[in-house]
Amino acid sequence: MNYDHRAVLVGLQIKQTDDEFYRAMDELELLAKTASVETVLKAVQRLDSPVRATYIGSGKLTEIKAAAADLDADTVIFDQQLTPMQFKNLNEALGVEVLDRTGLILRIFSDQARTREARLQVEHANLQYVLPRLAGMWTHFGRQAGSSGSMSNRGVGETQIELDRRHIERRMAELERELKAIERERATQRERRLRSELPKVALVGYTNAGKSTLMNRLLELSLSPSEVKREEKKVHVKDALFVTLDTTVRKIEPPSGHPFLLSDTVGFINELPASLVKAFRSTLEEVKYADILLQVVDISDPMHDVCEKVTEDTLREIGAAALPMIIVCNKLDKAEDPGLTAKRVRNKVYISADKNEGIDLLLEAIEDEIANMRKECALLLPYDKGSLLHRLQENGDVVSSEYRPDGVLVKAVVRKEYIKYLKSFMVEE
Ligand SMILES: Nc1nc2c(ncn2[C@@H]2O[C@H](COP(=O)(O)OP(=O)(O)OP(=O)(O)O)[C@@H](O)[C@H]2O)c(=O)[nH]1
Ligand SMILES: [Mg+2]
């Protein structure tokens, strides 16, 4: 792999256990890799609390500066979000580009954003992050431009910062207006989907857990062989973080079983930066309109418990914690325990999306949840209610129908909350 940058990663271990801390450092390395940054050194410091002005102690700072020079690193990445003051001081002290975890995640989001909405959301999050850090960035760019950052240059820098600030604020207001308009469009689309009686199933989970891979597997069930080959309906899969940033919805028609709508969306991560949560709120919130959640967990990750907790916390934050959920333990083929095979234990299913194992068990679990939300009833539909019959048929809800002089006697399985609208057509069998 060719990298664009070389970086020293700096971690500050405060309260975390070693396991938690090193997992977070590994994740930071994977984030860096996703952003095309090669990790040349992971430096660690243990302190009771971060140093207010410089995050790490001055001895460590000198050490890192020397290491960066020795190893030819052009970037130093810190494991937590730095305060604007820390950011400015570290920029001045280190003389190479300084990034914190938030800045790194923002960079990945910028690289991966494809749709217009995702691009606008990322730009907004970026500007929000940049605004209080302008002073620190000016130090950096000022130096890059060859100025010494001496007193005589300070005035120029400050005028520039003020101009930049006003420009950024204007752009942010513009972005907010555009995003509101897109959100309205999305609400209309959503309403259309809600009106469709198809059950809505949403993939959720930590980034890189295999959500998009699973979506493609399920999608293949509904495609003809030539469509499978063309791949155009499939979603993008990659061993990197935040490959998916927007929501894709596809209709899935299992060979046996009820059709449903499946959505794939942005993954979660521990301590998702606040500016991104805000910017991606409407994308994230899509999840709460689902009927059933599929929480995809990478069980080959030794710390997958942490990921599950992060997912559950995030779901609570967006008001989706009470929805029926199936836990999909994915990457079975890579799991440490070799005795583990595809199986289903109530609402927990062990699968390998990549190796196509256990998908049938997952479909059964989905089918059971769908059955839970539906109820069988007998209806006598007058002949002028043809469109209603058509809709029931289209959604695969009709079990049997019999044409009678006074209308069509239909046995159908419909969503429980829909029953109240059908009351007037209901008959005893
Ligand atoms: N070994 C193994 N790898 C898998 C499995 N499922 C997915 N992967 C791999 O895991 C990586 C991430 O898969 P994605 O489907 O892109 O994951 P995602 O959850 O959509 O990730 P983001 O969209 O980036 O949040 C890819 O390299 C997949 O090939 C599996 O069952 N076994
Ligand atoms: Mg994905």
| Nearest one of 282, 279, 227, 286 to 253, comparing CA atoms | 227
Closest ligand (CA of 214): 1
Pairing of strands 407-415, 374-381: antiparallel
pLDDT over 90 (residue 48): yes
Nearest CA to ligand 1 atom 21: 208
> In the chain, where are the structural domains located?
1-112, 114-195, 196-371, 374-425
Contact 207 CB / ligand 1 (< 6 Å):
yes
Alpha carbons 156 and 148: distance in angstroms, whole number: 12
pLDDT at 357: 96
Alpha carbons 202 and 288: distance in angstroms, whole number: 9
Closest ligand (CA of 331): 1
The more confidently predicted of residues 58 and 338 is 58
Q: Which residues surround ligand 2, an ion (CB under 5 A)?
A: 212, 243-244
- The DSSP H or E segment spanning 415 is strand 407-415
Question: What is the model's pTM?
Answer: 0.83
419 and 377 in contact (C-beta within 8 Å)?
yes
Q: What is the DSSP string of 83-108?
A: PHHHHHHHHHHH-SEEEEHHHHHHHH
pLDDT over 70 (residue 144): no
Which atom of ligand 1 is closest in space to residue 243's alpha carbon?
24
Instruction: Look at domain 196-371 and name its CATH class.
Output: alpha beta
Contact 212 CB / ligand 1 (< 6 Å):
yes
Q: What is the pLDDT of residues 162-203, one digit of tens each?
A: 888 899 999 999 999 999 999 898 888 877 766 667 889 999
Domain spanning 1-112: which superfamily?
GTPase HflX, N-terminal domain (3.40.50.11060)
Nearest CA to ligand 1 atom 26: 239
Q: Which residue has the tokens 């930590």?
A: 206
CA dihedral 282, 287, 291, 294 (to 10 degrees): 170
pLDDT at 61: 97
Beta strand spans in 266-393 (E) = 292-298, 325-330, 343-345, 348-350, 374-381
What angle do the packed helices 134-144 and 84-94 form, to 10 degrees?
A: 20
Contact 238 CB / ligand 1 (< 6 Å):
yes
pLDDT at 396: 65
Mutation pick for ligand 1 pocket among 109, 352, 354 (CB with most ligand atoms within 8 Å): 354
Contact 358 CB / ligand 1 (< 6 Å):
no
- The percent of residues above 90 in pLDDT, for the chain, comes to 58
Q: What is the pLDDT of residues 392-409, one digit of tens each?
A: 887 767 889 999 999 999
Closest ligand (CA of 239): 1
The more confidently predicted of residues 153 and 274 is 274
Contact 234 CB / ligand 1 (< 6 Å):
no
Instruction: Decide if domain 374-425 falls under CATH 3.30.70.
Output: yes
Beta strand spans in 143-281 (E) = 200-205, 248-252, 260-264
Contact 91 CB / ligand 1 (< 6 Å):
no
| Nearest one of 258, 323, 314 to 292, comparing CA atoms | 323
The more confidently predicted of residues 244 and 57 is 57
Which atom of ligand 1 is closest in space to residue 357's alpha carbon?
31
Model confidence at 280, in pLDDT bands (50, 70, 90)?
confident
Which atom of ligand 1 is closest in space to residue 239's alpha carbon?
27
- Topology alike, domains 1-112 and 374-425: no
38 and 6 in contact (C-beta within 8 Å)?
yes
